[in-house]
Chain A
């Protein structure tokens, strides 16, 4: 039996095509992946991201625990700040990528839906091993979460939300009460656009959707619903990694270009392995590829140089905004420089590709 988010009825009434995503019945699309992608780039979209895990840590030893379990330093993190981090195993392999946020009374960790059971078990095991005292509450199924993303999102929401959005910087958040509803509003996202992500009580979901998205039968509405399909093409254009593709337990954060989220000067699970990788340099690197033509490279396809495999595709799509066939791939370090000409084996036919700087798409600065 698939789990349903608090927005399930909304998805059905909006005519969504629903799919099984990590055990959740989620909207793949409402009108179409490409129109929803374009709506996000040109105006704004609202995404149901309630399937993502929301874990709340509280108690005296919570920050000490998080600092040892996460790759990022959280010791100097201020109330109201969010940070992107990895959870690694002892070998330095990525178990999950998460956002950790420090609130006044607790810490909020948002993890991938597919990894929630694994991460919970991992944290509980570490807590026993380290004999630490703190509370860990899984609030995923008691709350909902939406992402509202796009160039017009902030201006539109400023008139609706009781939060000073103009002064809420990127990777900051604020908890607030709104008509007796507790909301946590983060200035963050996964689309390459400006916007917010909001955690709210599950029971308030339908009311919130009416308020945030307005009337959905108006095709000219500033904010319109978008599904997981557009979320994937948007994040790929924005060069953001997706767990299960760019990140797995067989990959490490340094090879993935995520050194900014790893503090090798502190002690954490996987630190020793990662220090050794940092010293010798990653053997392969995550790169962006632009392919000739309109064909799409898919996960696991081989990247070739002079007919020899030098890498493997992790994700690919046809970028609706940039109108190019794009992919991310792990490529052997000696061949991973920007501008390198490579080929991708698309089921027997070799297609020209070139390593380009990530992200593929950057939003125009104001």
Chain B
């Protein structure tokens, strides 16, 4: 298994990609595969305040329901509305078109608490 090297991860399988002061969040292919066919996603609205290591949403598949976590604090600036009608994008393309939210971060240092790709892959046993 592999995962993109240009981002940082939570053990709960969320990836975080930093561009300027905006962090984009989604889940890894491993998590999407574990969930199987995703049927529903509940995401915060633009403007919502997010706390690091707190639940920001929920994702459901025919098999299971799972919480979504952010590793950084900030304000939601954009939500991927395409997922409402097509949650399967997360299964097919979790690192690009299956992104979930963009957050304007308040404390860049929080990113240092996240896992590198190597450490994430080690944590999930690959």
Chain A interfacial positions (CB closer than 8 Å to B): 17, 28-29, 32-34, 229, 233, 293-296, 298, 317-318, 320, 347
Number of residue pairs across A and B with beta carbons under 8 Å? Answer: 38
Contact indicator B62/A33 (Cβ below 8 Å):
yes
Contact check: which of B33, B39, B63 meets A294 at CB < 8 Å?
B39
Contact indicator A295/B60 (Cβ below 8 Å):
yes
**Is B65 in contact with chain A by the CB < 8 A criterion?**
yes
CB distance from B42 to the nearest CB of A (A): 8
Contacts of A294 in B (CB 8 A): 39-40, 60
Contact indicator A34/B37 (Cβ below 8 Å):
yes
Contact check: which of A17, A33, A34, A296 meets B60 at CB < 8 Å?
A296
Contacts of A347 in B (CB 8 A): 58
**Is B12 in contact with chain A by the CB < 8 A criterion?**
no
Contact indicator A296/B39 (Cβ below 8 Å):
yes
Given contacts A34-B62, A229-B63, A317-B62, 19 further A-B contacts (CB under 8 A): A28-B63, A29-B36, A32-B36, A32-B37, A32-B91, A33-B62, A229-B36, A229-B62, A233-B62, A293-B40, A294-B39, A294-B40, A295-B42, A295-B60, A296-B39, A296-B62, A296-B65, A318-B60, A318-B62
- Quick one: CB contact mask for B51-63 with A, threshold 8 Å, 1 for yes? 0000000101011
Contact indicator B36/A295 (Cβ below 8 Å):
no
Contact indicator A17/B33 (Cβ below 8 Å):
yes
Contact indicator A28/B40 (Cβ below 8 Å):
no
- Known interface pairs A295-B60, A296-B60; A33-B36 also in contact (CB < 8 Å): yes
- Known interface pairs A33-B62, A317-B62; A296-B36 also in contact (CB < 8 Å): no
With the chains together, A294 CA to B84 CA distance in Å?
10
Ordered by A's residue number, 12 sampled pairs between the chains whose C-beta atoms are within 8 Å are A28-B36, A28-B63, A32-B37, A33-B62, A34-B37, A34-B62, A229-B36, A293-B40, A294-B40, A295-B40, A296-B39, A320-B37
CB distance from A297 to the nearest CB of B (A): 10
CB distance from B66 to the nearest CB of A (A): 11
With the chains together, A317 CA to B64 CA distance in Å?
9
CB distance from B113 to the nearest CB of A (A): 27
Contact indicator B37/A33 (Cβ below 8 Å):
yes
CB distance from B88 to the nearest CB of A (A): 8
